Each structure stands twice: as C-alpha cells, then as structure tokens.
A = this chain, B = another copy of it.
C-alpha cells in the first residue's frame, strides 16, 4: 500500500467568505460560501458549468439553536490526498484514493458552537460532511432535520424509487425530475412493508442524466450512527433536500461530539462509465478495522431457497404458514425444504461442481408463524427443526470440503435478534458455518423504528462488527443499503438491500432494465446478493396457472455474474435445472467472484452495461453484457487482454430468436480463440445478455 500526503497545507485565521477547490483533473470545481446571513453554502461545477447551484448546508437541532446560519469562518485548510489501498475482496485488487480536501472551520455567533464542513473533490465527484469537534458548547445533541440541499440546474431524466423508510425493494421509475410522484406508482409490487412519507421523496443513490448527456448521481458514504438520507424533491425547482429517516418519536439522530455526519456525495461525468466504475464511496469510508482478514473469503454457493420461492417446498416444517404456534407440535408436511437429506443433496452438488458453500433457509424452528404480525419472539436462531440434523450436516459438509451458510431471518424483530446474537454466532462457530445471511422481512421491533433509521443503521453495522469478533461473514437482506462500510468491516461482504431476483418468482418482478440501473445506484455502496442464475425462467414450468417469470433471457442470467459484482454469489436455481443445461451451467462453475481488475466497456443506465473483469490471481477474464427490453448489437475490442497471448473465449449468448418474454431460455455457446487485437460482436436479445470466459491458452 502506498500512502502519500502531498500538496500545500495551510491554515488561515481568515475572514474570507468564499473558498474554491478543483478536483485533481480540474474538471470539477467546488465553491464554498457563507451567505449574508452566515449560512454555509456550496456550488459545484463541471467543466466550468454549474451543476449544483448555490445550495444550503447545515442541520437543525432538537431543543437547541439550528446550525444553519449565523456562522463566521474561523479558518480554512486545504490538503491533497493520494494513496492506493487493497480491498480484501473487490472488483479490483488496488484502489486509488485521490482528492483535494477543503476544511472550513465555522463558529456560530452567540452560541459559539464550532462546526466544520469538510469537502473532498475527486475527479468523478465531490463529497462533504459536517464535522462537530469536541467542545464545551456542544456535547450531546439531537438532530431534528438536515438542511443540506442539492439545487440542480435542470430537469434531469431520473432513475428513482420512492423514499420509503422501510423498503428499498422497488422497481426503478425512469421519469423527469418534475414527474416524480410516489402516488402514481402501482403498489401491487410484492413489497410487504411500506412506509412512504410523501409524494416527492425518493431514495438515494439517485441517478440522473441531462438532455446534454451529463450524468449526475447523488448519494452518501459512511452512514455510521446516522439515519439513511432520502431526498425531498422540489419538482418545480429541481431542488433536492436531505430527508433523514426518523425514529419512533420523530427524532433523526442522537450524537455526541466529537462526531461527523455521513458524506453527502455528488458524482458528475459526461461518461456514464466514470460513475459506474467509481470507487469514491468506498474511498470515503474508513480503512479496515479488522487486522487479520485471512478468514474473509469469496464464496460461490447454492442453496435451499429458490425451491421455496417457486412453491416446490416450504420454509416451515408444518407446511402450513397458518399461524399455528410451534408449541402445538406441528407435524411434518413432507414439503419442508430444509431436511437433512435435501441438504446433503445440495452439499454433494456443491462438492461435485466446485461451489464453496450451501445456504439453507427454513432450518430453524419458527417458520409456521413468522411473518406479517409484528411478532417479537419468533426465532431463537439456534433450534433446528427435528428433520434438520445440524451436527450431521456440519460433519458431512466438512467431509466434502463444503462450507455451510447460516440463515438468520429476524422477521424485523431486531430486539429479539440482538438478544440472541451471541448465542446465534456461537452456534455458527460450533457447527463451522463461516457466513450468515440475515433477513429483515417485516415491521421493525423496537416498534416505531424504520429499516432506514439510525437505530437500524447501527444494528446492521453492529451485527457486522460482532460477527467479526467471531470471524464470521455477513450478507444482509432487507437491510438499509450499504454506503461503503464494507471497506471498514470487510466481513460485511454483501447485502441485498434492493429489489433482488426473488421478486421475479412471485410478483410483477423486475423489468428488463432493472439490472442495468442497479450498478449505477445500489451497487455504488457495496456488493449486492442479487441471486442470479435462474435457468427455468417461467414459473409456469412449476405451475401452469402461474404467469410470473424472470424478466431476462437465460444468457443474461449468466452475464449477471459479471455485471452484478458480489464476492458472495449464488447459483440460485434448483439443482435439477442446472443438470438439464450443463453447458450453460459451465459458465457459473467457471466464473470468478473476486477480481484483480474490472473495466466497464459500455454503460448507459436503464439501457445496457458491459464489463470485463480479471479473476483474482489468475489470467482468466470474464465478460458480462446485458441489455434492457431492447435488443442490442455492438462490437467490443479485446484490448484488455494481455498482449501477445492467446485466449480461449467461450461465448454464452442469446440464440437468434431469443426474447426474455417469448423465448427466454434459447441460448447458444461458441468457442473462439482470441488475442488482445481481436474484436467480438455482442448480440443481445430483448432482455438478453452475453457472458464470456477468456482462458489463457498455453
């Protein structure tokens, strides 16, 4: 790791009311100014044109004067930072963190409260945070609102989801900023718990594009001990204001100095690939606090999961889901998925096909009556069903060199989970489970809290930290979306925290453009456990009366392993479906999940994405290309390959007549020999994709 602090440091007891700092490349400029009323404001320009006009900064406090006016500048400090660091797992083995920094030290008249605003100006965007130094004038405080604004200059095309306090599992809407309106969304979308506070509140990351082709993304980084920030949109003035998620009694955050807010981030580029490949969010997080990270490993896994989604088996032992108490001694229905026998079948499959892990959901007592009733004591996270012999399974998996992945569904009863957490993790250690998939389906307990409030943000982070004490990896589902904390706790390997593939099994599903947007939004904060790899696309395969289906071709499901970065990646379909298509399945067996390099070749949010990645510690490359509902042809150059070497390229692509809706499974596979000078034509069907493996030839 290289680390150099350079540039000129200076600190001036200045009364200058304005400061300006450019990014290292000079493309982006940040201007800070105090208004006549002493309110801090900022302006951002890209290539000398304003992208964010003068925008207010500050916070409001409960029972104390607001920190949004009457400030004087005590001094300013400039610095340049340029280092590279190595993520434990990642899209690339080394990440450059290069920015110019401006710290503005403010003091408020009369209260004498000191507050700093820290800006970091990167080549792909800017970030700022509020910093509250330790001081007698401000010790404990409660944030009642954040004043932060983002005053945009025009009516961007926007990819948005409602600013729901409890769910981020929405399809994206693609409209103008002026057309944002949560009341117009079809809420028959399969989401169980919804808490939408207003018509014009949307979630971040918010991806936008101007008519002139400028890409702007508003997000946040390092959300630690703070609620999630949604955005309240003034649809007439294109002015966005921070909307913090409240707690049960309406407060936003409880803080004590010294402390900082999360970073508010604005990425800007005229090339969409700069956004999708940016590591700015990760860079804004603290380095790893885990010293020995040798136990944090990438995992490709199969699991007892999709079979419940398609109705072949059940999570619960009784197969009833009828609110019977377990105390009433439910009888086995014969449909229970998580049996010892079935688990061994998955272990055998994993061992045979080179998978690292097996996830089993529904293994533990409680699933007869777990969902939808705000019930506090559902699971104890340690008691297996009578037909799940955890000791025997653990021993069997060990004998096959397969790792078991634990499942902890909390049903939103976080109080209950925290009460049991140590015992649950001890149970994992006892049975040699190195990773846990957590779940938060349902209204939160403590009652009145939301999934995205400070309490829950702290919970998700706490679980990661506690898991690290036990050397366990965490993959959270239905959590608040990550904002780069995986850099600080690299055992927090992935999250769902967006609309995953599962919605395709039993709801209106995810439209073909969905996976082309996620890399510009959800994935900026960290890996997503999207659970790709569904081969039997249509649910009518299982039940003729069903019309639900995955909204992609089979080839696109393969491509998602590359486009949807995660170091823990599921082959989600039933084992028997993989056995029916062994040639296509070969790609899933081959594809890496941890990388030395990644290059985004083509990218347009809502339309398409093509990325190539070099497997960690290997000469193999993998390509994923996906499209939305439109067919797409393009030619790509293979100049990322090592010069002078020959590669065997196996191309998994849509068949000529493939179509996500009418003919989704049709694929073809061809093998060609290529070099860095070769070109390959990508032919994507509507809702289709292409996956390619490049293997160095000797």
Which A residues have a C-beta under 8 Å from some C-beta of B? Answer: 134, 139-140, 247-249, 251, 254, 256, 323, 325, 373-376, 415, 418-419, 421-423, 446-449, 455, 458, 462
Given A415-B446, A447-B455; 12 other pairs, CB 8 A cutoff? A139-B373, A248-B448, A249-B447, A251-B447, A254-B375, A254-B376, A256-B373, A419-B419, A419-B421, A419-B462, A422-B422, A446-B446
Kindly state the separation between the CA atoms of A140 and B375 in the bound complex, as whole angstroms: 8
Kindly state the separation between the CA atoms of A419 and B416 in the bound complex, as whole angstroms: 10
**How many copies of this kind of chain does the complex include?**
2
Kindly state the separation between the CA atoms of A423 and B462 in the bound complex, as whole angstroms: 15
What are the residues of chain B within 8 A of A423 when measuring CB–CB?
Answer: 422
Kindly state the separation between the CA atoms of A376 and B142 in the bound complex, as whole angstroms: 13
Kindly state the separation between the CA atoms of A357 and B5 in the bound complex, as whole angstroms: 58
Which of B139, B140, B249, B422 sits near A448, CB closer than 8 Å?
B249
Kindly state the separation between the CA atoms of A345 and B249 in the bound complex, as whole angstroms: 47
CB A139 to nearest CB in B, in angstroms, measures 6
Q: Looking across the interface, which residue of chain B has its beta carbon closest to that of A463?
A: B419
- Classify the interface of chain A: helix, strand, loop or mixed: loop
Asked whether B462 lies within 8 Å of A455 as measured between CB atoms, the reply is no
Kindly state the separation between the CA atoms of A325 and B415 in the bound complex, as whole angstroms: 27
What are the residues of chain B within 8 A of A422 when measuring CB–CB?
Answer: 422-423
Q: Looking across the interface, which residue of chain B has its beta carbon closest to that of A446?
A: B446
Asked whether B373 lies within 8 Å of A140 as measured between CB atoms, the reply is yes
Q: Looking across the interface, which residue of chain B has its beta carbon closest to that of A421?
A: B419
Asked whether A447 lies within 8 Å of B415 as measured between CB atoms, the reply is no
Q: Looking across the interface, which residue of chain B has its beta carbon closest to that of A426?
A: B422
Asked whether A447 lies within 8 Å of B247 as measured between CB atoms, the reply is yes
What are the residues of chain B within 8 A of A421 when measuring CB–CB?
Answer: 419
Kindly state the separation between the CA atoms of A188 and B631 in the bound complex, as whole angstroms: 77
What are the residues of chain B within 8 A of A375 when measuring CB–CB?
Answer: 140, 254, 256
Q: List 8 A-B contacts (CB under 8 A).
A: A140-B374, A247-B448, A248-B447, A254-B376, A415-B455, A419-B462, A422-B423, A446-B449
What are the residues of chain B within 8 A of A373 when measuring CB–CB?
Answer: 139-140, 256
What are the residues of chain B within 8 A of A376 when measuring CB–CB?
Answer: 254, 458
Kindly state the separation between the CA atoms of A325 and B446 in the bound complex, as whole angstroms: 27
CB A254 to nearest CB in B, in angstroms, measures 6
Q: Looking across the interface, which residue of chain B has its beta carbon closest to that of A140?
A: B373
Kindly state the separation between the CA atoms of A140 and B248 in the bound complex, as whole angstroms: 21
Q: Looking across the interface, which residue of chain B has its beta carbon closest to that of A466?
A: B419
What are the residues of chain B within 8 A of A458 when measuring CB–CB?
Answer: 376
Counting from the closest, the 4 A-B pairs by CB-CB distance are A446-B446, A248-B248, A422-B422, A249-B448
What are the residues of chain B within 8 A of A462 when measuring CB–CB?
Answer: 419
